[in-house]
Amino acid sequence: MKSAQPNPMFSNNEGIRLISYCPLCNTQYNPLSAKVLEEKDDAHLVHINCKKCNSSIVALILSSALGVSSVGLLTDLSGEDALRFKKSSRVNDDDVINLYSLLHLNVDMVKYLSSSI
């Protein structure tokens, strides 16, 4: 997917209407605040932030001859964070085992995480 501008709207905004209310506080989203993070063919990765409760949704909106559909994820990530995590490496088995070992040994996670940055 290629990166898009910070605040563009794609020509068919049917997908934005699919995600029109915050799932946490039921506040209506302003469609102009939706940010298209990436787009490829008829697929758009969109970030929408609720101005009332500050939650966000990252959604994949797909357009086809059959219509428009979307899959969304409730998150606290900004659009920039979502792209950064999308591009980062995946969590593997060793990562999970290492985290379990750290938690099992009661290591001070704040010290560990701050030293690894």
List pLDDT tens digits, range 87-113: 888 899 999 998 888 777 765 766 766
* Model pTM score: 0.62
pLDDT band of 2, cuts 50, 70, 90: very low
Alpha carbon 51 to chain centroid, angstroms = 16
Of 52-66, 74-88, 93-107, least confident by mean pLDDT is 93-107
Contacts 24+ apart (CB under 8 A), 113-116: none
Average confidence score pLDDT of the chain: 79
Domain spans of the chain? Answer: 2-89
Q: What local confidence, expressed as pLDDT, does residue 47 receive?
A: 93
